[in-house]
Amino acid sequence: MKKSSKVRLIIMAHPDDPELACGGSIAKWAEQDKVYYIIVSSGEMGTWGKNVSPLKVADKREEEAREAARFLGVKKIIFLRHSDGEVGTIKTFIIEIAVLISSLKPHTIVTHDPWRRQFHPDHRATGLAVIDAIMIARDLHFYPFLQEIGLTPHRAEELLLTPTDKPTLVNDISTTFTKKMQAIRIHKSQLEQLPNWESRIKKMAETQGKISGFKFGEGFYQMLI
């Protein structure tokens, strides 16, 4: 019998967010499922270099994201190329996500927890837009044109919010923790801006793992759709 293969759709604001948030889970899912990425902004503001062109930063970061995704076994990566820092202002954003959900038909959708205490406005905006888009993809009467272009309603099974202040589900990433760290290291252009990232990520994985008795874990707030 063929192994069941689910589509796991990771929708994150910036090129390094998937690996930082849940690279260990992605590596595990990719062993048997189809994992797809949607990267909302190519992160052109992600540099401390005063004379660096944002366009070059975006190119570099897309390249790193492609390499990290390939390394983890991700099947597809879609860049929406919205402006870094201004994701919440793009009027078509929710519809774009809804169209992609209807078309890619994921079992699981993973995004930022918009209710977590955090600094980056793009993380909050992405989390909220994904939640709204799930409703539109599920109940197509909100936007009847989607049916006119051949899309059928799609109800994903679960939404996983991460990182989160209140994990309700912890994945055991003890066997893929090293792979997660290697994948983060591929985002070379960002490492300088992530001081002490190795010890911080390790501590987080230990703390979250402890909740469910694993050596290393990644926590999610799970919502069933």
Residues that bind Zn ion (CB under 5 A): 13-14, 17
Between 126 and 171, CB nearer to Zn ion: 126
**Beta carbons within 10 angstroms of residue 15's beta carbon:** 29
* Neighbouring-strand partners of residue 8: 35, 108
Instruction: Indicate the residue among 13 and 68 with the shorter CB distance to Zn ion.
Output: 13
Q: Which is nearer to Zn ion, 18 or 209 (CB)?
A: 18
H runs (alpha helix) in the chain? 17-30, 54-72, 93-104, 121-138, 145-148, 177-185, 197-211
CB of 194 to Zn ion, least distance (A): 11
Write down the least CB distance from residue 13 to Zn ion, Å.
Answer: 5
Q: What is the DSSP string of 111-129?
A: E--TTS--S-HHHHHHHHH
Question: Which residue, judged by CB position, is nearest to Zn ion in the bound state?
Answer: 14
The smaller minimum CB distance to Zn ion, of residues 13 and 173, is found at 13
Q: In whole angstroms, how close is the CB of 17 to Zn ion at the nearest point?
A: 4
Q: How far is the CB of 123 from Zn ion (least distance, A)?
A: 6
Instruction: Give the Cα separation of 38 and 97 in Å (integer).
Output: 9
Answer for the pair 44, 82: CB distance below 8 angstroms, yes or no: no
